[in-house]
Amino acid sequence: MTTDLFDDLPVAVTTESLAPGAAVLRGFGREGDAALLQAVEEVTAQAPFRHLVTPGGYTMSVGMSNCGALGWVSDRSGYRYDPLDPLSGQPWPAMPASFCELAKSAAARAGFDNFVPDACLINSYEPGARLSLHQDKDEKDYSAPIVSVSLGLPAVFLFGTVRRSDKPQRYRLGHGDVVVWGGPARLAYHGVAPLADGEHPLLGRRRINLTFRRAG
């Protein structure tokens, strides 16, 4: 029997329910964080962070890259997944094994077995960067969950319901916290409040977020 990279978890890992189908796994990604960050550096050396433009012409404050078979992109023509990086015309970098193991293990711990992501969005936040409330609905199949990993500076995660009019709850996410949502919460509105300034021992004045999806 093989052992997944993230099976040997620290005792401090706890699960906090956000809603039916949604939970924060506190500290789940902390072990192996150096390997994760090294993989981020390798991916973004091939596909550098860029600030995408929304269909409405707004430039996103968050820097973004992708790895895996598909990458999420945005421009004036719309939101979509594409197998090619529009900056290079080449396929996105392959998803590192450490990423896949973490995503699958986190999904399983939250009750979603057999999750196999084919896309990982890598977001880079600097102080003041934010992500407005939105739904993840560009994927073809909503049966798979979303797995979101926080690294670096803490952030305030906004998590609501499937109705945009409902006020979202606020949750502090620290280094290594992983949020998983699917099932009845799969289309919940969510976002990130403006990142507060600070200093993290591994990432300095920055937060990295890995968001795993099954897009194709």
193, part of any domain: yes
Q: Tell me, what's the pLDDT at 9?
A: 47
The pLDDT averaged over each successive group of 10 residues in the chain (216 residues) is 43 89 97 96 98 94 98 95 97 98 98 97 98 96 97 98 97 98 98 98 97 97
Q: Tell me, what's the pLDDT at 12?
A: 78
Check: CB of residue 72 under 8 Å from CB of residue 91.
no
Q: Tell me, what's the pLDDT at 45?
A: 98
97, part of any domain: yes
155, part of any domain: yes
d(CA 104, CA 99): 9
Number of domains in the chain: 1
Query: Looking at residue 50, which CATH number applies to its domain?
Result: 2.60.120.590
Q: Tell me, what's the pLDDT at 8?
A: 46
152, part of any domain: yes
7, part of any domain: no
d(CA 105, CA 7): 7
By residue range, what is the domain housing residue 120? 16-213
Say how many C-beta atoms besides its own lie within 10 A of residue 33's C-beta. Answer: 17
4, part of any domain: no
3, part of any domain: no
79, part of any domain: yes
204 contacts: CB under 8 Å, gap ≥ 6: 152
**Residues belonging to the chain:** 216
